[in-house]
Amino acid sequence: MRRPFLNEDHEMYRKSLRKYIEKEVLPYYEQWEEDKQVPHSYWRQLGEQGFICPWVDEKYGGINADFGYSVVLAEELEKVCTGISGPSLHADIIVPYIDTFGSEEQKQKWLPRCVTGEIISSVAMTEPGTGSDLAAIKTTAVRDGDHYIINGEKTFISNGYTTNFVVLVCKTDINANPAHKGISLIIIDAVDQEVPGFKKGKKLRKVGQNAADTAELIFEDVRVPVDNLLGEEGKGFYYLMEKLQQERLMVAIGSMTAAERMLEITIDYVKQRKAFGKSISQFQNTQFKIAEMATEIEIGRTFVDNLIVKHMAGENVVNEVSMAKWWVTEMAKKVAANCMQLHGGYGYMEEYEIARRYRDIPISSIYAGTNEIMKIIIAKNLGL
């Protein structure tokens, strides 16, 4: 289908990225899945070839590219394996916090290194026991002269084991009422040196997305310069809410791509697989299942691409993005189950891609705000 936000330049970028992936990623990503992380060289290579953060301003090393390039990056990485999508998370969910809320000094200090892949960023929101209740976080940053002293623990942090740059969500005012007004964002910069008191827990063992390293982050009397405060004290919650539209749109984009890929490999499989003297693609049940999935995927693609156009135009589509995030991720989970069923027993074998896809996709309905939270947002915006 025609995608109005993509032009010849985007497709040249896609072609170049795909060529890099075929040479430097496809031969190794299965090993990365076993290692439970991607190597730093992967980030550096992407950065050196201009694939990370091309939207950043030229004076910080980018090319002022539009959001269409972010879509292409997310799609091409997802086509290989959800677990290698850390650079997309970095480029289009985390780095925008620096670009939008950072001071000029902070931008000059960090954005160029974000573009080159030298910085591996993470955003540390979730804590043990808090889940989606961001206002209930307990990590504190207490002012001590020209520094903050930070104490607390974060969990389920994507890029957490390899990260050297953390956008930390913490409380600078534990007495704020309401509580979310005490939340601030502070940068933990460990790119060039160790930060005393900042520790990483072991890699967390997950059901899927194995190459995407996930870890706990621990802060014990960590001293951070006040200059590392992002924006203003007490505005962190509002900064997070402002950026969640793009974050949830990125989840919908990745889940759409995964659904399309699962249908593609399943169509190929059912054409080749024989049963009772003919390919299983000739059975009516198979045809009906494929037709149903293809229809839902087409509906989802039309909706998501329309939201991308609106997002690129600067429109507020928080409600529609919430709809897309929950509906597309649930659709992708259903596609994964149906595609595995059509693969039969082979679908349960690790050497078949659908097995990995089946275990990679469920988390999409949980991160970036659970689908239950998405429905609460929608209901609220409907006046309920």
Alpha helices in 221-370 (DSSP H): 236-272, 284-312, 318-343, 353-360
Helix orientation angle between 40-48 and 104-116, rounded to the nearest 10 degrees: 100
Q: Round to the nearest angstrom and report the end-to-end CA distance of the chain.
A: 36
> Tokens standing for 149?
């002293």
- Concatenate the DSSP letters of all residues of 266-294 into one string: HHHHHHH-EETTEEGGGSHHHHHHHHHHH
CB 53 within 8 A of CB 119: no
- Concatenate the DSSP letters of all residues of 92-124 into one string: IIIHHHHHHHS-HHHHHHHHHHHHHT---EEEE
Q: Where do we find the tokens 């206002």?
A: 135
CB 83 within 8 A of CB 122: no
How many helices (H) and strands (E) the chain has is answered by: 12, 10
CB 169 within 8 A of CB 185: yes
Bond prior to 178 in cis (omega within 30° of 0)? yes
Alpha-carbon dihedral sign for residues 119, 120, 126, 128: negative
Active site residues: 247
* Cα(189)–Cα(185) distance, integer angstroms: 13
Alpha-carbon dihedral sign for residues 310, 315, 318, 320: negative
